[in-house]
């Protein structure tokens, strides 16, 4: 019920304990620093516009500083126009890197032809020749040094005043200028190459971060889908746990309570001639009805069993259960505690208490026992509850394969297994025909969380799927001889009566009403169904002379020593 309320109240919100889907994280690729980005833009603009400016200045100086013939002027203008058109050729896009490299080589070769031709025409075209250093950055790295050397030679020719000055000292000056130009241009070009590499690294980093951002968005979208799936699975698991809890509660309370009521009413019908006995059986039936109603209400509230609220801890609750079960079933049961009793988390105590209830109910219904025993053993690692009887026993291996029947019988064993499994415990059985039965349930000996050892009535101390009924429905009123109405200390479903009131057949043990009118050794006893526990691995716990040690072919030692 609680799980269903949680699902309804959360709506689109994830159930308690399920983290919300984290908000998508958007990683923006870091932009290049403002200064670096501006420098890159200025350099690109310089590469684009400076050649045209240098060409225009060179043409004006070459034509305007002296009287030249029209042919000279025409040749200068035509070559300048050709150089300008050739520069424009660089703006044509090419699709592949190989095509771009080929274009750059062709472009630079044509550019150097125009530069050399114009400088030979007039040294003032050296202002245009300087752009060859800038355009060398477009070439592959292995071609840049020779390209710079060729451009340095052309610039040195302009600096010495043209070809007419290449004689005598002019040749030495030309060679020196070539070397100086190569050194200066080489240093500038090296800096340009380094800057180009840094720009490429930044561009590559930005591309990688953009790709990482894309993958992160895809991962976050996938995580959001997985989170929605997790919320759906958690909701379905909560519903399933609640169904299992209610199934166990119905079996442990309502079903067994109704069985006990039917048994008492049938016993009352057999004593029509004895008003006193008939009245007692009817009173027991009414008490069982009140108990079942109270337990049903507690089951709906998903709270602890009443004996665990009225008693200090589990040993006290089991002691009360043993005493009251002896009164109602007519079978003597001895309860012992070994080791130092310590508080356990409520979920573990509930699981062991319900296991004890179901085990005693099975003894009354199926074992045909005259004596029974319960031993609660505490160790540092596990807490073991043994429920013993000296009944007829059964084939544990055959019962291990049994499944709950379609009519609902046999669910008790399944409920016990589920309870113990959900708290990290286990269930084991030792039994053989004619040698009695030992039911052993073990849970981890973990301390309770702070503030949870003695929960206030009404607290929902349980793990999902455990039957943890509410306080107030079990346990006798203080000072009362009989269990108070609503008590769950008697195993539901037993024939609750005072010893001797069922008029058992001669020689038979004093059994629960409804089973006392058969002869000793009769085969009419119900065969063990799935309420008896199949053998499976589980903790054995410590033993004591009167504890869960075994003798012979599985007969409990507590039965050898007497009750």
Report whether pLDDT(50) > 70: yes
Number of domains in the chain: 2
Within this chain, do residues 252 and 354 fall inside the same structural domain, yes or no?
A: yes
Question: By residue range, what is the domain housing residue 140?
Answer: 34-166
Residues 285 and 531: their CA atoms lie apart, in Å, by: 23
The H or E element that residue 333 is part of is: strand 332-338
Q: Is residue 225 part of a domain?
A: no
Give the end of a domain, one of 120, 135, 166: 166
Enter the tokens of residue 97.
């890197």
Has residue 516 got a pLDDT over 70?
Answer: no
Same domain, 402 and 309: yes
Burial class (CB in 10 A: 0-12, 13-18, 19+), 52: middle
Question: Which helix H or strand E contains 227, and what residues bound it?
Answer: helix 169-249
Highest mean pLDDT among 38-47, 72-81, 133-142: 72-81
- For residue 50, being part of any structural domain is answered with yes
In a domain, 21, yes or no: no
The model's pTM is 0.40
Please, are residues 323 and 481 in contact by the beta-carbon 8 Å criterion? no
Same structural domain, 136 and 243: no
Q: Which of 87-101, 115-129, 183-197, 228-242 has the highest mean pLDDT?
A: 115-129
In a domain, 455, yes or no: yes
Residue 45 lies in a domain: yes
Does any domain span residue 15? no
- Residue 67 CA to residue 76 CA, distance in Å, equals 14
For residues 264 and 159, membership in a common domain is answered with: no
The gap from C-alpha 459 to its chain's centroid, in whole angstroms, comes to 27
Residues 525 and 396 in one domain: yes
Is residue 324 in some structural domain? yes
The residue from 128, 145, 166 where one domain ends is: 166
With CA atoms as reference, report the closest residue to 116 among 104, 102, 128. 128
* Same domain for 391 and 302: yes
- High-pLDDT (> 70) share of the chain, %: 64
287-290 CB contacts, 8 Å cutoff, 24+ apart: 287/483, 287/485, 287/496, 288/257, 288/260, 288/261, 288/264, 288/492, 288/496, 289/257, 289/261, 290/485, 290/486
Lookup result for tokens 């592959």: 140
pLDDT surpasses 50 at 545: no
Q: How many CB atoms lie within 10 A of CB 108?
A: 21
pLDDT score, position 176: 92
pLDDT digits (tens, 9 = 90+) for 402-451: 565 555 555 667 778 888 888 889 988 888 888 888 989 999 988 876 65
The verdict on 249 and 149 lying in the same domain is no
CATH of the domain at 340: 3.30.565.10
- Across the chain, mean pLDDT equals 71
- With respect to residue 136, please indicate whether it lies within any of the assigned structural domains: yes
Q: Which residues contact 532 (CB under 8 A, 6 or more apart)?
A: 362, 366, 394, 396, 399, 413, 429, 431, 437
Q: State the distance between the two ends of the chain, measured CA to CA, in whole angstroms.
A: 42
DSSP string, 354-383: HHHHHHHHHIIIII--SEEEEEEEE-SSEE
pLDDT in tens, 290-321: 877 777 776 665 555 656 655 557 898 899 88
411 closest CA partner among 493, 536, 528, 531? 531
Quote the percentage of the chain above a pLDDT of 90: 18
Considering the domain architecture, whether residues 301 and 160 belong to the same structural domain is answered as: no
Q: Which residue has the higher pLDDT, 493 or 73?
A: 73
Q: What distance in Å separates the CA atoms of residue 171 and residue 178, rounded to the nearest whole number?
A: 11
Please tell me whether residues 143 and 267 are part of one structural domain: no
Query: Residues with Cβ < 8 Å from 388, sequence gap 6 or more?
Result: 372, 373, 374, 375, 436, 437, 438, 439, 548, 556, 558, 559
Cα separation, 468 vs 267, whole angstroms: 31
Of 32-46, 69-83, 333-347, minimum mean pLDDT range: 32-46
User: What is the reported pLDDT for 83?
Assistant: 92
Asked if 159 and 294 sit in the same domain, the reply is no
pLDDT digits (tens, 9 = 90+) for 443-472: 998 887 665 544 433 333 433 333 333 333
Q: Among the three residues 135, 166, 197, which one is the final residue of a domain in this structure?
A: 166
Strand residues in 395-542 grouped as ranges (E): 426-431, 437-444
Measured in whole angstroms, how far is the alpha carbon of residue 311 from the centre of its chain?
38
């Amino acid at each position: 019920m609680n799980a269903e309320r949680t699902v309804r109240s959360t709506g689109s919100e994830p159930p308690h304990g399920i983290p919300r889907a984290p908000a998508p994280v958007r990683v923006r690729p870091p932009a290049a620093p403002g200064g670096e980005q501006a420098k890159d833009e200025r350099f690109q603009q310089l590469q684009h516009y400076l050649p045209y400016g240098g060409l225009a200045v060179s043409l004006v100086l070459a034509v305007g500083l002296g009287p030249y013939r029209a042919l000279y002027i025409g040749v200068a203008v035509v070559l300048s126009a050709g150089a300008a058109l050739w520069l424009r050729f660089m703006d044509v896009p090419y699709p592949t890197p190989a095509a771009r490299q080929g274009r750059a080589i062709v472009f630079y070769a044509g550019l150097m032809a125009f530069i050399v031709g114009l400088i030979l025409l007039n040294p003032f075209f050296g202002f245009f020749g300087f752009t060859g250093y800038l355009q060398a950055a477009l070439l592959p790295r292995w071609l840049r040094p020779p390209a710079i050397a060729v451009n340095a030679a052309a610039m040195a020719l302009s600096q010495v005043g043209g070809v007419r000055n290449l004689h005598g000292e002019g040749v030495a000056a030309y060679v020196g200028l070539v070397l100086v130009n190569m050194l200066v241009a080489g240093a500038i070009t090296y800096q340009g190459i380094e800057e180009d590499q840094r720009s490429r690294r930044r561009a590559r980093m930005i591309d990688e971060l953009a790709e990482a951002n894309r993958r992160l968005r895809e991962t976050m979208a996938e995580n959001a889908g997985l989170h929605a799936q997790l919320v759906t699975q958690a909701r379905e698991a909560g519903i399933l746990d609640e169904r299992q809890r209610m199934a166990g509660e119905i079996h442990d309370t309502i079903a067994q309570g109704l069985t006990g009521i039917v048994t008492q009413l049938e016993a009352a019908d057999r004593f029509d001639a004895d008003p006193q006995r008939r009245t007692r059986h009817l009173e027991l039936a009414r008490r069982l009805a009140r108990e079942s109603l109270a337990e049903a209400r507690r089951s709906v509230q998903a709270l602890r069993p009443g004996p665990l609220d009225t008693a200090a801890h589990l040993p006290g609750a089991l002691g009360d259960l043993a005493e009251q079960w002896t009164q109602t079933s007519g079978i003597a049961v001895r309860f012992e505690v070994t080791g130092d009793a310590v508080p356990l988390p409520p979920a573990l105590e509930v699981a062991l208490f319900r296991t004890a209830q179901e085990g005693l109910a099975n003894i009354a219904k199926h074992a045909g026992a005259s004596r029974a025993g319960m031993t609660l053993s505490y160790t540092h690692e596990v807490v073991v509850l043994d429920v013993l009887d000296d009944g007829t026993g059964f084939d544990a291996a055959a019962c291990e394969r049994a499944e709950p029947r379609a009519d609902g019988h046999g669910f008790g064993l399944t409920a016990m297994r589920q309870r113990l499994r959900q708290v990290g415990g286990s269930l084991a059985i030792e039994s053989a025909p004619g040698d009695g039965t030992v039911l052993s349930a073990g849970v981890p000996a973990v301390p309770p969380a702070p503030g949870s050892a003695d929960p206030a009535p009404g607290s929902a101390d349980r793990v999902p799927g455990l039957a943890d009924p509410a306080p107030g429905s079990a346990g006798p009123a203080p000072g009362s001889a009989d269990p108070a109405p609503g008590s769950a200390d008697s195993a539901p479903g037993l024939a609750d009566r005072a010893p001797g009131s069922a008029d058992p057949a001669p020689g038979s043990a004093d059994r629960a009403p409804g089973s006392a009118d058969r002869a000793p050794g009769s085969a009419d006893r119900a065969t063990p169904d799935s309420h008896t526990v199949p053998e499976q691995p589980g903790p054995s716990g410590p033993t004591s002379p009167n504890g869960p040690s075994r003798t012979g072919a599985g007969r409990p030692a507590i039965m050898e020593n007497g009750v």
